[in-house]
Structure formats: C-alpha cells, structure tokens
Amino acid sequence: MKRRESPISKASSPFKGWTNRFAFGAFIALSFSLMLLGKADTVAVERLRSTVADLSAPVLSLIAEPIATVRDTISQIDSYRSLQQENARLIAQNRQLMEWQGVARHLTSENEKLRTLLNVAPRPFMNSMTARIIADNRGAFARTLLVDAGYQQGVEKNQAAVTEAGLVGRVVEVGRRSARLLLITDINSRIPVMRQSGGDRAVLSGTNGDRLKLLYLDPSKPLLIGERIVTSGNGGIFPPGIPIGRVAKIEGEQIAVEPFVDWGHLEYLKLISYRPDDSLLPLGFAASMQAIVNGPDDGTRGFEKASAGGAVLSHP
C-alpha cells in the first residue's frame, strides 16, 4: 500500500532540495568569511575570543574542581600505599640489621677473647669528629681549607681529613673554634702511601694542581694505569688503607695520580685521630716519616732528613 505524503511534506520538498544542493557551498563560504574577518579585524576577533573565554571560565573552573579533588584523592591513596610499602621495607631492614648487630657483637666478643689468648697487640687508637668547611683558600700558591672546629671541639694537629671518597688532607693549624687543613694537592703535602694491590711503599706529593705526583717508588715494580693508591700508615699520621686516588698518567719516572675526592662538592669532613703504638715501630721510624710528611717545598730535603733520622724505607 503506497504511503500518502502530507501537505507539509509536499510544501517543504522544494526547500529540502535547495538546501541539499547548496549546503556544502554555503559552509565553505562561511568558513572563508570567518577567515577573512579574522584577518581584516584582529582586534574584534581577539575581543570575541576574550569574551568567550571569560564566559566559559566559571564553567570550566566549576568542572575542574571535582576533577582536581578526585586527582588529589587518588594521589593521596597512592602515597598511602607507597608509605605502607616503605614502612614494611624499613621494618624488614631494621629486623635484618638487628640480627647483624647481634652477630657483630658476638664476633667482637669472640675476637677479643682470641686476641687475649694469642697475646695480640691492641689495635691503634682511632677517634673521629665531623667538621664543616667555612672557607676555601685554594689558589695558585696554596691549597688549604678552614673548618668550624678547633681545640675546644677536640681537633688536634696532624689529624687526617677524609670524606666518603677518600683522603682530603691533614690539620696543620688549630685555633680555639677553627682549624686549617693542608690539602693533599698542596705542593707542601707529603703522604706515605702504597699500592693497594702490591703494597709497594712510596711518597705522594702535591703539585698545586688537580693531580698528585708519586715519588720514591721502586722502579723494578712498574705501575699500571688505573691502580689504586692508598695511605700506608707509616709515621702514624694517617691511618693505613685510606683511598687517595688512581694512577692516571705514566711518563718515564713521572707518575701522576688522580684524587678520588670531588673538590667542587666539599662541605663536611671527618677528622680522624690516629695513634699507633710507637713501641711496635723501628727506632726513629715514626720521627723520620714525620719529617717526610712535614718536608719543605723543594720536595727532596724532607726525604733527606728522613734518611738521616734513621728511616728504613722499603723503596726509596
């Protein structure tokens, strides 16, 4: 059965045909008109855009508030979960550390008993304190630092200054509330050292530059690039085994050592008091090694004094 068209549909049929025919062209013309309007009157377009933005701002703000609330709630939930996980991890770590502490105490007690039975000489006395750097006097002719601790805080002359990276220098002047350190890079610095791998003794000298110079090493024991240099403990100034640097360059008898310490990021130092039992050292050894450490600027006379004082070095 054929459907009958209503009178309204019959009347609107010509308009529908016209609209379908010219709609696409009309939209294109409207687009070009808006583009031309924007180019012709930029101020008017900017005002219209600002007006629309002003009208839509309250609505957008109203929509953004619950979204921000939900986002903050989710973030707090995630933080709470992270805190729970971190708390559980710390509890487990603390439990493990307590177990290791018990083991360490037991081993310490057992070690002391065995040392007593074997009549082993006691370990050298070592004590330490922390000091903050308050002045950096590194220049072309001297490399020193000033720290905020003096003899009132227990600082003593010739204490070793270290960081987690290695040796920085030693205390050369002590005041009431401050102390001056001579850096290992200073040209007046002399440090009894050894190869960490082989144990061959030598003396490390500062150069007033970024690198150090290795002296008096036995030429029959050649070094390799990258070998670690540590303190030997000779003379009783520096504890043995403190890292200093790596061999960076070898040219004949000239051996350059790159320090481990990052000089641009020094803030706090640990000052170490080291007192070995002098009775265990050969006669005159400690005094002669002290002469090397406090040697003069020429880098040779201190070693001559040491030899005259009766030092017997392994590899002069």
Please check whether residues 109 and 134 belong to one and the same domain.
Answer: no
For residue 147, give the CATH number of its domain.
2.40.10.340
Residue 4 lies in a domain: no
Please check whether residues 199 and 133 belong to one and the same domain.
Answer: yes
Tens digits of residue pLDDT in 232-285 = 988 888 889 999 999 999 988 899 999 999 998 888 999 998 877 544 444 444
Dihedral sign (CA 300, 303, 307, 308):
positive
Question: In the listed set 51, 85, 120, which residue is the last one of a domain according to the structure?
Answer: 120
Contact (Cβ atoms closer than 8 angstroms) between residue 181 and residue 188? no
At 88 the pLDDT is: 87
Rounded percentage of the chain residues whose pLDDT exceeds 70: 68
Contact (Cβ atoms closer than 8 angstroms) between residue 181 and residue 170? yes
For the chain, how big is the Rg over CA atoms in Å? 39
Q: What's the pLDDT band for 190 if we cut at 50, 70, 90?
A: very high
Please check whether residues 106 and 132 belong to one and the same domain.
Answer: no
Identify which of 26-30, 60-64, 191-195, 232-236 has the greatest average pLDDT: 191-195
Domain that holds residue 250: 125-308
- In a 3-state reduction of DSSP, which class is residue 70? helix
Question: In the listed set 96, 120, 144, which residue is the last one of a domain according to the structure?
Answer: 120
Res. 2: pLDDT tops 60: no
Q: DSSP label at 279?
A: G
Please check whether residues 172 and 260 belong to one and the same domain.
Answer: yes
Please check whether residues 286 and 183 belong to one and the same domain.
Answer: yes
Tens digits of residue pLDDT in 288-299 = 445 545 554 443
Question: In the listed set 99, 120, 141, which residue is the last one of a domain according to the structure?
Answer: 120
Tens digits of residue pLDDT in 108-117 = 877 776 776 6
Please check whether residues 80 and 177 belong to one and the same domain.
Answer: no
Average pLDDT over residues 60-64: 71
